[in-house]
Amino acid sequence: MNKKLLGKRFREIRKKLGYTQEKFGEIAGIEPQSISKIESGKNFPLLSNLEKIANKLNIDLSDFLYMNTNMMKLN
């Protein structure tokens, strides 16, 4: 998984759910600056943060890492 693609997927899903970086950081327990770096592809998140992100986005971690962006389905 490449950092930029992961960041892009995260940003797309977060925005579709209506969360700002600040609000998502608050509910997931992750600093907004870390979210920004993940979404921009500057940093790859720690596994613990990946699990928090997937959990709060209501997506299986494996689905989040390997899903095709054209196949994303949000409830």
The CATH code that applies to domain 3-59 is 1.10.260.40
Structure tokens at 41: 């592809």
Q: Which residue has the tokens 């689905």?
A: 63
Q: What is the DSSP letter of 9?
A: H
Three-state secondary-structure class, residue 36: helix
pLDDT along the chain (75 residues), means of 10: 87 94 95 95 91 90 68 45
Q: CA-CA distance, 43 to 23, in Å (whole number)?
A: 20
Contact yes or no for 13/59 (Cβ under 8 A): yes
Q: State the pTM of this model.
A: 0.79
Whole-number pLDDT of residue 64? 76
